[in-house]
Chains A and B, each alone.
Chain A
Amino acid sequence: MTEASASSFDWQGLRKHPVVHFALIGCVLFGLNALRQGGGPSDDEAAIRVDRPRLEALAGIWTAQFGRRPTETELTSVARAWAVEEMRVREARRMGLDRDDSVIRRRLAQKYAFLVNNPANQAAPSDDALRKYLADHADRYASPSRYSFEQIFYSSDRGQSAAYSAAQAALAHPDAAKGDAFPGAPIERNATEEEVRQDFGSNFASALPRLKPGFWDGPVESGFGFHLVKITARKALAPPKFADVRGQVLADWLADAAQGAAVKANADLERRYHVSLDTEAVRGVAGTRP
């Protein structure tokens, strides 16, 4: 800026400008307000009363932590500490420090979610309700199916294709067939699918449900060779006894109830709030993957 241009500044015009009037009025109002408040909190805001309900609450927290009521000295010092914290909190709020603080935001959201999601908020279900829950989710608690079967085994120690051919040939006359010695129990009794899997391998175990009970079927490949299999018994899922699984059912019921409550609460929120996302802006703000 040059000397000439500075001297040619229009002070008169500025004095008449409405924006300047607006700013001046604002300054006066701000000044008046500051005078009224004495630069600090109002009388109401300045009063911190540590009254009986507050003391009861503080004593309760103390008791939970130390297993006894606080003494007079202890309670006084806890109350003083609370008052100091309260003063700081009010001062911080006055300064607007609680706004846009990510920790406070998250803590508030968490507190809300905790209230809504806490299984302890669910009323304890009746046994009838639990029995119904068990009936509705019977497969969750059922013991697995059990298989009993006989088998004629052809070991892959003969070579894989020789074992397969021998098993295939034996299928024509299974009752006359003499297989190899199986490394394990030749007859499986009441075995779960997991147990069959451990004894025969995954392929064999997954083939089992497809075999026709009461007939020689196969050849089925195991981890050891090929088998002809006759399922002699297949016990379906046994319904669990309520008394045996009550604890587990109760835990699951509470977890489900809490989850249900959370879903409902979210739906409520979505009804009451309207979120609009500026997808244009998302594209503008986002970067690209390196």
Chain B
Amino acid sequence: MGLKLSALAAVSAMTLAWSGQVLAADVSRSGGAPAALGTPRERAEERVYFGDLHLHTAFSFDAYLFKTTATPDDAYGFAQGKPLKGPNGGVTTIDRPLDFLAVTDHSENLGVMRASGDPSSPLYNAPLAKSARDPDPAVSGAAFKSIIAAAKEGRIKDMFDPALARTAIEDAWAREIEAANRNYHPGKFTTLIAYEWSSMPETKNLHRNVIFRGSTAPLPFSSIDSNRPEDLWSWLERQRKDGFQVLAIPHNSNMSDGAMFDTVDSDGKPLTAAYAERRRRNEPVVEITQLKGQSETNPFLSPNDEFADFEVVSERVGSGIKVTKFHGGYVRDAYRTGLTMQESQGFDPYKFGVVGASDSHAALTPTRADRYNGAHGMTDALPQLRLSCAFCKGANDTRRFGAMGLTAVWARQNTREDIWDGVARKETYATSGPRMKVRFFGGWNLAGVTPGAAKWVEAGYRYGVPMGADLPKRPSGKAPQFVVWAVKDADGANLDRIQIVKVWSKGGHSEEQVIDVAWSGDRRKDPKTGKVPAVGSTVDVKTASYANTIGATELKGKWRDPNFDPKAPAAYYVRVLEIPTPRWSTYDAKTTGQPIPEGLPAAVQQRAYTSPIWYDVPEL
């Protein structure tokens, strides 16, 4: 056995050597020095790029068990517009190519499950391998559930012979890097070398995606090495010392049962300024929306937000266990927690921007309800399977999953450096799938910034700060002012409204408020509630269609905070809502002639969320 192992190691060393030979000329750990930001005039010329920072292929143990066979190369190909063979037959294509993609396979036993399906691999005889390669997804699904159970109890490392697993992981990681580099076409399509750190103590989801900037990366640090986020950060910090530029993005806080944005660390100790500093440096952004639900807020946390009930998933990851603790599990709530800590203790661990992603386990990014073809291999790649939830038992109810989302980055050009740097400085917004354009500037005097006027973006950068930034020092007597602008997806639905969500803390107590800033048509704010009435709906459930006869193609507005309190730290972010459109399940119901499953809305309002602009109380 020892000898077989050695031989495998030699072969994988050869594979590495060969990939090195091809790319030796361009290998860079850091991806080069960070590029300085342009002048306001140059910045006004920047474009917005749309992509997916979270996607799985057959190299992920769970995707393999769902019978996904597509590789990282297939995923990068699909994102660039190439057809992808579906696991249940047929061929899927994306409606429009993406600008960038990071394949983020689970680092825990990366590629090992796939290797166990190869008769020439010694892993072929591993205990789980036989049921894992069973062609029936119900049988291999049982293997998935036993792995989730093992992960819950910290037994994942015992599932495969560690030496055999390591050989397979090294081989898979070399292939991931090669595929990313092979598919990187600067200016046209950006790939980022990445993986997922899948810590889930008690199936409370603490997952993070780890994204590199350069063209090479060290062997992943997985949750088998440690399931404590603090240990992941230590590893990230060591990599940075070694020259790798890397950041981590938490996701599915909605499935963490309140553990993602807690007020204590992994040892149960209160957070400190040092903790906050590390967390912000390592995790500049958080994934706010994806297939397994949005993590902005929910109706329980935000009872006065009539749009909070959107694609809410309240189960723990990989299991049907209900989430019982929402506090600490949502982004808006985390901003509140952070601002209160800022106010009372002088540090904010939760000062992060937002991105969106798919978390697809089928190597394809679903971004449109009308083209949704599942995201979990054979288990949901047919309308009938999706509506009946045939493979959901004991796992998540995938009918509740949304066909979303995407990350939008304002950047000079479509390169690894510019996309990664845009994420690192939080100049990003997330969408539930549509590609609307959103601008957001804040400042103390934006009189010279009129959205839609000539050179207004240049003026925005000159007189204000963009999404993801801090307001500059406050001139005395001023309240902050904000300019918002949004244009509909050129191939999508019209817009209903732009809202600013304000979160602040005063006297150790946090508050939130949603303000309608721009909206379509001649609707008036209700004088009692201060809210703009609903836009209406053109959705026809029977034909699964809608019409752009309501809503607007473009919305813009300017707003000064009338209740600004200079002693209260605050965060302001933008939410853009589309008019109602059919949910993916409505399209499936039409296709199959079956009724929409109970509890699912026929229509949803797709949306975008920007990174906030922060106001901090100046130190005296």
Report A's interface with B, CB cutoff 8 A: 58, 61-62, 64-65, 78, 81-82, 85, 102-103, 106-107, 110, 119-120, 143-144, 155-157, 160, 181, 183-184, 194-195, 197-202, 204, 222-225, 246-248, 250-251, 254
Q: How far is the CA of A185 from the CA of B187 in the complex (A)?
A: 20
Which segment, of B6-14, B151-159, B348-356, B390-398, faces chain A?
Answer: B6-14
Contact B3 A82 (CB under 8 A): yes
Q: How far is the CA of A143 from the CA of B185 in the complex (A)?
A: 10
Contact B492 A223 (CB under 8 A): yes
Point out the residues of chain B lying under 8 angstroms from A62, CB to CB. Answer: 6
Nearest residue in B to A182 (C-beta to C-beta)? Answer: B554
Q: How far is the CA of A64 from the CA of B5 in the complex (A)?
A: 11
Which of B10, B26, B488 is within 8 Å of A223, CB to CB?
Answer: B488
Q: How far is the CA of A155 from the CA of B452 in the complex (A)?
A: 14
Which of A183, A222, A246 is within 8 Å of B554, CB to CB?
Answer: A183
Q: How far is the CA of A204 from the CA of B5 in the complex (A)?
A: 57
Which of A65, A107, A143, A248 is within 8 Å of B187, CB to CB?
Answer: A143
Point out the residues of chain B lying under 8 angstroms from A251, CB to CB. Answer: 22-23, 182
Point out the residues of chain B lying under 8 angstroms from A198, CB to CB. Answer: 47-48, 50, 96, 435, 490
Contact A247 B25 (CB under 8 A): yes
Min CB–CB distance A8 → chain B (angstroms): 56
Contact B9 A201 (CB under 8 A): no
Binary CB contact string for chain B from 545 to 558 against chain A (1 if under 8 A, 0 otherwise): 00011001110000
Min CB–CB distance A157 → chain B (angstroms): 6
Point out the residues of chain A lying under 8 angstroms from B268, CB to CB. Answer: none
Nearest residue in A to B185 (C-beta to C-beta)? Answer: A248
Min CB–CB distance A243 → chain B (angstroms): 10
Q: How far is the CA of A200 from the CA of B487 in the complex (A)?
A: 11
Binary CB contact string for chain B from 441 to 477 against chain A (1 if under 8 A, 0 otherwise): 0000000000010000000000000000000000000
Point out the residues of chain B lying under 8 angstroms from A201, CB to CB. Answer: 490-491
Min CB–CB distance A208 → chain B (angstroms): 13
Q: Does B277 contact A (CB under 8 A)?
A: no
Q: Does B489 contact A (CB under 8 A)?
A: yes
Which of A202, A223, A250 is within 8 Å of B553, CB to CB?
Answer: A223
Please judge, given known A-B contacts A85-B3, A224-B553, A247-B26, whether A195 and B489 are in contact too, CB under 8 Å.
no
Q: How far is the CA of A194 from the CA of B5 in the complex (A)?
A: 48
Contact B490 A223 (CB under 8 A): yes
Point out the residues of chain A lying under 8 angstroms from B47, CB to CB. Answer: 195, 198
Q: How far is the CA of A120 from the CA of B26 in the complex (A)?
A: 19
Contact B3 A197 (CB under 8 A): no
Please judge, given known A-B contacts A65-B6, A194-B97, whether A155 and B18 are in contact too, CB under 8 Å.
no
Q: Does B120 contact A (CB under 8 A)?
A: yes
Contact A199 B2 (CB under 8 A): no
Min CB–CB distance A78 → chain B (angstroms): 7
The CB with the most chain A CB atoms within 10 A, among B22, B26, B124, is that of B22
Q: Does B119 contact A (CB under 8 A)?
A: yes
Please judge, given known A-B contacts A184-B487, A200-B490, A202-B96, whether A103 and B9 are in contact too, CB under 8 Å.
no
- Additional 9 contacts, C-beta under 8 A, given A202-B95, A250-B22: A64-B13, A106-B120, A184-B437, A198-B96, A198-B435, A223-B491, A224-B488, A224-B490, A251-B182
Q: How far is the CA of A68 from the CA of B119 in the complex (A)?
A: 31
Min CB–CB distance B559 → chain A (angstroms): 19
Point out the residues of chain B lying under 8 angstroms from A195, CB to CB. Answer: 47
Min CB–CB distance A190 → chain B (angstroms): 11
User: In B11-50, which residues have CB < 8 Å from any A CB?
Assistant: 13-14, 18, 22-23, 25-26, 47-48, 50
Nearest residue in A to B454 (C-beta to C-beta)? Answer: A186
Contact A103 B490 (CB under 8 A): no
Q: How far is the CA of A124 from the CA of B26 in the complex (A)?
A: 18
Please judge, given known A-B contacts A110-B120, A223-B491, whether A64 and B552 are in contact too, CB under 8 Å.
no
- CB-based closest 6 A-B pairs: A183-B554, A223-B490, A201-B490, A61-B6, A64-B10, A107-B120
